[in-house]
């Protein structure tokens, strides 16, 4: 069966059918999937009944996977730290409850963000697979940052050109509900990183407005100016005409390009309803800023190959 690709939102996001990722795809099919990933920024592959090993194996085709650092707190439900357990469950598989660490991270995920933008080498792709879904709420929304950049007026483009943004997990987690007491720990776990505010995509060459909830300040501006600019840009980016809202079905695999999109989770009844997703994250080609200066990437396609 040939694969089919159907665009979902006006400027980005597409659905791909006709491939079963439990089996290694051919190089031709992998090329089509990777082309769509670059072109649309978000690809939805319904009906992928993957186990964790199959999800990991497919993820590795895109590049080296990000391994989460060891963290304090309750025992992990899934030991392998290349898998991010995006669920509201405890290690024993029961509901963790609204006051749990899990629920807190879910709240943080409800702010518009790009995965791992607080790392020197922020994420390339994220691959989220749905195992159990909420009947009500729990959608994931995506925002097209290329369109967000292109629709800025000329003055704003000039104002932000060459600016460096500091991205901090502690910053977004406090806004998401984590206590101030967690800040020190989070700063140590994930020290802030600098990213260009206007980011050139290393494979398409397109410019994106690389904003998000992790941005704590813009270098070279005073505190108020910086906070105002962040608010203005965070308000501009996720306008409805460049947002795709994904209503999950079990076995959807959604893959997004963190270099050209933002995403956020939507609320659901976290106390009573099980929502279980597993994320595999592919590392990027960073750092993007060295010694306070943006490194302009050499534009080339990442070699994405099916092993011989």
Choose the one of ligand OGA, Mn ion, none that binds residue 48, judging by a C-beta under 5 to 8 angstroms depending on kind. Answer: none
CB count within 10 Å of CB 56 equals 17
In the complex, what is the shortest distance from the CB of residue 108 to ligand OGA, in angstroms, rounded to a whole number? 8
Structure tokens, 23: 């089996």
The residue (of 172 and 226) whose beta carbon lies closer to ligand OGA is 172
In the complex, what is the shortest distance from the CB of residue 214 to ligand OGA, in angstroms, rounded to a whole number? 12
The residue (of 34 and 256) whose beta carbon lies closer to ligand OGA is 256
- Residue number with the shortest CB distance to Mn ion? 115
**Token pair 């494979």 in the structure block, residue:** 203
Which residues would be at the binding site for ligand OGA (CB under 6 A)? Answer: 86, 109, 115, 126, 128, 140, 263, 265, 277, 279
**Token pair 């910086």 in the structure block, residue:** 226
Which residues would be at the binding site for Mn ion (CB under 5 A)? Answer: 115
Choose the one of Mn ion, ligand OGA, none that binds residue 280, judging by a C-beta under 5 to 8 angstroms depending on kind. Answer: none
Choose the one of Mn ion, ligand OGA, none that binds residue 261, judging by a C-beta under 5 to 8 angstroms depending on kind. Answer: none
Q: How far apart are CA 196 and CA 176, in angstroms?
A: 24
**What order do you get walking across the sheet with 253-257 strand by strand?**
4-7, 14-17, 42-45, 253-257, 123-132, 276-283, 83-87
The residue (of 217 and 279) whose beta carbon lies closer to ligand OGA is 279
Q: How far apart are CA 105 and CA 110, in angstroms?
A: 9
Find all residues with CB under 8 Å of 84, minimum gap 6, and list them.
Answer: 68, 278, 279, 280, 281
CB 197 within 8 A of CB 291: no
In the complex, what is the shortest distance from the CB of residue 118 to ligand OGA, in angstroms, rounded to a whole number? 13
The residue (of 115 and 182) whose beta carbon lies closer to Mn ion is 115
In the complex, what is the shortest distance from the CB of residue 308 to ligand OGA, in angstroms, rounded to a whole number? 32
Q: What are the helix and strand counts (H, E) for the chain?
A: 8, 17
Choose the one of ligand OGA, Mn ion, none that binds residue 202, judging by a C-beta under 5 to 8 angstroms depending on kind. Answer: none
Choose the one of Mn ion, ligand OGA, none that binds residue 87, judging by a C-beta under 5 to 8 angstroms depending on kind. Answer: none
Find all residues with CB under 8 Å of 94, minimum gap 6, and list them.
Answer: none
Give CA 128 to chain center in angstroms: 9
The residue (of 218 and 270) whose beta carbon lies closer to ligand OGA is 270
In the complex, what is the shortest distance from the CB of residue 122 to Mn ion, in angstroms, rounded to a whole number? 11
The residue (of 250 and 299) whose beta carbon lies closer to ligand OGA is 250
Choose the one of ligand OGA, Mn ion, none that binds residue 279, judging by a C-beta under 5 to 8 angstroms depending on kind. Answer: ligand OGA
CB 241 within 8 A of CB 10: yes
């Amino acid at each position: 069966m040939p694969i089919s690709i159907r665009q979902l939102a006006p400027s980005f996001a597409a659905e791909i059918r006709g491939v079963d990722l439990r089996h290694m795809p051919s190089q031709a099919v992998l090329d089509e999937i990777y082309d769509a990933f670059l072109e649309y920024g978000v690809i939805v592959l319904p009906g992928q009944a993957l186990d964790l090993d199959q999800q990991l194996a497919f993820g590795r085709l895109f590049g080296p996977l990000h391994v989460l650092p060891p963290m304090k707190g309750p025992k992990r439900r899934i030991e392998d730290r290349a898998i991010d357990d995006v669920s509201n469950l405890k290690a024993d598989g029961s509901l963790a409850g609204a006051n749990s660490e899990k629920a807190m991270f879910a709240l943080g995920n409800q702010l518009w963000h790009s995965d791992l933008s607080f790392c020197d080498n922020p994420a390339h792709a994220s691959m989220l697979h749905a195992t159990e879904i909420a009947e009500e709420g729990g959608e994931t929304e995506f925002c097209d940052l290329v369109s967000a950049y292109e629709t800025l007026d000329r003055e704003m483009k000039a104002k932000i050109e060459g600016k460096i943004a500091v991205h901090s997990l502690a910053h977004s987690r406090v806004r998401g509900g984590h206590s101030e007491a967690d800040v020190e720990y989070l700063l140590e776990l994930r020290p802030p990183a600098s990213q260009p505010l206007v980011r050139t995509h290393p494979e398409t060459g397109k410019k994106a407005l690389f904003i998000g909830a992790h941005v704590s300040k813009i270098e070279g501006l005073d505190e108020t100016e910086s906070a105002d600019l962040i608010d203005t840009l965070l308000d501009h980016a996720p306008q409805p005409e460049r947002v795709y809202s994904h209503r999950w079905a079990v076995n959807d695999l959604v893959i997004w390009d963190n270099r050209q999109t933002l995403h956020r989770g939507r609320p659901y009844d976290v106390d009573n309803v099980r929502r279980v997703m597993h994320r595999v994250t592919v590392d990027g080609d960073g750092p993007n800023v060295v010694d306070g200066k943006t490194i302009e990437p050499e534009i080339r396609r990442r070699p994405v190959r099916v092993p011989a």
